[in-house]
């Protein structure tokens, strides 16, 4: 049921206080409440978009060109599910492992730990069936698939559930501003509304689920307030922050579109195989082939023939034989190397509630640049060797060194890392069950716990992790 902030009873007994009502927070709160636990769900924003709430996401960008922080996510009930596109697929098994090019990509769990939660997560997100990946014959590439159905707005889909569960109380304009740390336990959380009124909430367990930047910002601030008692070894707190760089990377002319299924489909997705990643020293990458209109294909043919005049007779001969060729736009989203230097930090400026704003340090590495160019060359070499097409690289990929575009898509607004999962408190912030190492009852949910990014959009994995966390919390609460 909904409870206004000023009506929140500071003495009410809660089994779990979930902080943040996006994909992760709503999933955890509903699941635990449906299992009979008394849950308080605190959302800092309002029921719909408001400038005063969104303003709390303002911050500072340092490094490569990035999006304004307040425009890269949404701060109201439902979180960023209110503007996501609904594109989903699981992370690949290799994404959980240490890669030779970047050993820091290793998670303490494998994909098999999340697989049992796929069906339930797919139902929550209304996913379409995702076909199995299919190797492309003779190439070190696989044709991959996504669920591309209409996006699920968590706020709208689960409004009746949030209001109808007797064991669930949810509160809006409840912004976390402090955590009280006792003897290896968080004793209480302090929330403020936009008028400065404060409420102190006690619960048996706490789950921070405020997103891939806010989780780090709030933990950094609360840790500072607690005199480093919340996260005593804060070496990696806020560190290893990641995004999915996005860009238009070129065009391709396909002499044999059927090889990739483009004789019938307008959009096809490819990724390098595990062998290709190992041999080329790259990370994961999603290549996106979007079929052109005939007029654009004709322009591409002209451009290719200017660059490679010897290609003109071959194209003419294929046309004379009635062969249909398709041009494609090439776009990509690729995995970013987890690097200690990429981080969420506390800025010197403060938001309207007195909490330091975020300072995001984001710099793409030589491996990030190597990954996207080699992934495209993998496709280009395959087309050339089989004589079934040609690739025209974007100008920025031809230059040395590669200079990434400062305009266009830039990134996917996929915020990952900062409170990374590990078996070692010196290498991460939460353990394999998403619990802060130094606290017996404080957990973190969402993409901030990702140890690596893969190339897949993160929402499905976020919900799988939230369901897995709910099982752990259910067992912990019953045993306590």
CA angle 27, 29, 34 (to 5 degrees): 95
Distance CA 282, CA 52 (A): 42
Residues 6+ apart with CB under 8 A from 220: 234, 237, 238, 344, 345, 346, 356
Q: Indicate the burial class of 419 (C-beta count within 10 angstroms; 0-12, 13-18, 19 or more).
A: buried
> What is the rounded distance in angstroms from the CA atom of residue 203 to the CA atom of residue 63?
40
Output phi, psi for 127, to 5 deg.
-75, 145
Tell me if 397 sits within 8 A of 369, measured CB to CB.
Answer: no
Give the Cα separation of 192 and 175 in Å (integer).
Answer: 5
Per 3-state DSSP, what percentage of the chain is helix, strand, and coil (rounded to 5)?
30, 25, 40
Return the pLDDT at 399: 87
Cα angle vertex 163, ends 54, 35, to 5°? 110
- Bridge-based pairing of strands 14-19 and 39-42 is parallel
Q: Please write the tens of the pLDDT for every residue from 442-464.
A: 999 999 999 999 999 999 999 99
Q: What's the pLDDT score for residue 315?
A: 84
pLDDT at 410: 93
pLDDT in the model for residue 141? 97
Query: 3-state SS string over 362-418?
Result: ECCCHHHHHHHHHHHHHHHHHHHHHCCEEEEECHHHHCCCCCCCCCCCEECCCCECC
User: In the structure encoding, which two tokens stand for residue 324, read together?
Assistant: 């249909």
In the numeric block, the tokens 């609904």 are attached to 86
Q: What does the pLDDT read at residue 323?
A: 79
The H-or-E segment that residue 208 falls in is strand 203-208
Instruction: Note the pLDDT of residue 322.
Output: 75
CB-based contact 413:453 (threshold 8 Å): no
337-355 exposure pattern, b = at least 16 Cβ within 10 A, e = fewer: bbbeebbbbbbeeebebeb
Q: What is the pLDDT of residues 178-201, one digit of tens each?
A: 999 999 999 999 999 999 999 999
* Range list of β-strands (E), 255-369: 267-272, 285-291, 326-334, 343-350, 356-362
Residue 263: the pLDDT is 87
pLDDT given for residue 311 in this prediction: 86
Q: What is the pTM of this model?
A: 0.97
Tens digit of pLDDT at every position of the chain (480 positions):
999 999 999 999 999 999 999 999 999 999 999 999 999 999 999 999 999 999 999 999 999 999 999 999 999 999 999 999 999 999 999 999 999 999 999 999 999 999 999 999 999 999 999 999 999 999 999 999 999 989 999 999 999 999 999 999 999 999 999 999 999 999 999 999 999 999 999 999 999 999 999 999 999 999 999 999 999 999 999 999 999 999 999 999 999 999 999 988 999 999 999 999 999 999 999 999 999 999 999 999 998 888 888 888 888 888 878 778 899 999 999 999 999 999 999 999 999 999 999 999 999 999 999 999 999 999 999 999 999 999 999 999 988 888 888 888 899 999 999 999 999 999 999 999 999 999 999 999 999 999 999 999 999 999 999 999 999 999 999 986
Which residues make Cβ contacts (< 8 Å) with residue 359, sequence separation at least 6? 59, 60, 62, 344, 345, 346, 347
Nearest C-alpha neighbor of 167 from the set 474, 475, 480, 479? 474
The per-residue pLDDT for 314 is: 83
Sign of the Cα pseudo-torsion (21, 120, 443, 432, in order): negative
């Amino acid at each position: 049921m909904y409870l206004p902030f000023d009506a929140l009873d500071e003495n009410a007994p809660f089994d779990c206080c979930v902080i943040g009502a996006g994909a992760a927070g709503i999933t955890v709160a509903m699941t635990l409440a449906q299992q009979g636990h008394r849950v308080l769900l605190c959302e800092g924003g309002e029921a719909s978009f408001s400038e005063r709430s969104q303003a709390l996401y303002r911050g500072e960008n340092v490094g490569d060109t990035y999006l304004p922080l307040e425009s890269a996510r949404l701060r109201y009930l439902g979180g960023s599910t209110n503007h996501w596109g609904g594109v989903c697929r699981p992370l690949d098994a290799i994404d959980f492992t240490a890669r030779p090019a970047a050993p820091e990509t290793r998670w303490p769990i494998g994909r098999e730990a999340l697989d049992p939660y796929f069906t339930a997560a797919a139902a929550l997100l209304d996913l379409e069936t995702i076909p199995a990946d299919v190797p492309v014959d003779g190439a070190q590439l696989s044709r991959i698939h996504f669920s591309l159905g209409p996006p699920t707005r968590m706020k709208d889909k689960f409004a009746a559930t949030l209001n109808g569960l007797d064991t669930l109380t949810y509160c809006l304009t409840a912004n976390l501003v402090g955590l009280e740390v006792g003897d290896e336990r968080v004793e209480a959380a302090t929330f403020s509304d936009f008028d400065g009124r404060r409420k102190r909430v006690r619960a048996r367990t706490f789950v921070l689920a405020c997103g891939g930047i806010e989780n780090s910002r709030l933990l950094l601030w609360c840790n500072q307030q607690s005199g480093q008692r919340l996260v005593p070894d804060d070496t990696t707190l806020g560190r290893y922050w990641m995004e999915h760089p996005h860009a238009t990377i070129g065009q391709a002319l396909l002499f044999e579109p059927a090889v990739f299924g483009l004789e019938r489909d307008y959009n096809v997705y490819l990724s390098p195989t595990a062998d290709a990643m190992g041999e080329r020293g790259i990370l994961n990458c999603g290549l996106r082939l979007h079929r052109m209109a005939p007029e654009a294909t004709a322009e591409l043919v002209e451009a290719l023939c200017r660059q490679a005049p010897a290609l003109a007779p071959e194209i003419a001969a294929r046309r004379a034989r009635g062969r249909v060729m398709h041009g494609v736009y090439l776009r990509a989203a690729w995995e970013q190397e987890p690097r200690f230097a990429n981080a969420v930090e506390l800025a010197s400026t403060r938001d309207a509630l007195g909490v330091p704003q975020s300072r995001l340090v984001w710099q793409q590495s030589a491996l990030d640049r190597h990954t996207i160019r080699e992934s495209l060359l993998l496709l280009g070499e395959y087309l050339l060797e089989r004589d079934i097409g040609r690739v025209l690289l974007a100008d920025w990929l031809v230059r040395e060194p590669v200079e990434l575009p400062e305009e266009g898509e830039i990134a996917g607004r996929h915020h990952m890392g900062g409170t990374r999962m590990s078996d070692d408190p010196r290498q991460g912030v939460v353990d394999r069950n998403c619990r802060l190492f130094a606290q017996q009852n404080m957990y973190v949910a969402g993409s901030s716990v990702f140890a690596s990014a893969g190339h897949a959009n993160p929402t499905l994995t976020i919900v799988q992790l939230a369901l897995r966390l709910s099982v752990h919390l259910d067992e912990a609460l019953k045993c306590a």
